[in-house]
Amino acid sequence: QVQLVESGGGLVQAGGSLRLSCAASGRTFSSYAMGWFRQAPGKEREFVAAISWSTGTTSYPGSAKGRFTISRDNAKNTVYLQMDSLRPEDTAVYYCAARNGVVLPTPGRYEYWGQGTQVTVSS
């Protein structure tokens, strides 16, 4: 059974940094893409970043480019999201997700989800 466990969320001041981790277990993820999404209260789930386990190919929306960096550690089966220059509008629950295939920005195309970790950015 696939398990994705996020950690690293918390409260940070605007301009600060956080690094989120997603520990994956339950299968071999070599053919998988891993994504980070976020959801603020009253808003739809939003794509933040994605990476291919096998090739390291990454994808970001415009709002994340230059501030967020996704990476993976194959030996630890862990995906990271380094978030810098955080803004109050980055406040949300951040979710890790996995899909068997290429990186995509659409939440509905991901098969497995973690429980989420709260990120709060104060102004």
pLDDT in tens, 46-57: 999 999 999 999
In this predicted structure, what is the pLDDT of residue 65?
Answer: 85
In this predicted structure, what is the pLDDT of residue 63?
Answer: 85
Question: What does the alpha-carbon distance between residue 35 and residue 80 come to, in Å, rounded to a whole number?
Answer: 10
Q: Where are the beta strands (DSSP E) in 26-111?
A: 32-39, 46-52, 58-59, 68-73, 78-83, 92-100
Residue with tokens 């999201």, as numbered in its chain: 81
In this predicted structure, what is the pLDDT of residue 64?
Answer: 86
SS3 3: strand
Inform me whether the pLDDT recorded for 20 exceeds 90: yes
Sign of the CA dihedral 98, 56, 24, 41? negative
Give the mean pLDDT of 33-46. 97
In this predicted structure, what is the pLDDT of residue 39?
Answer: 98
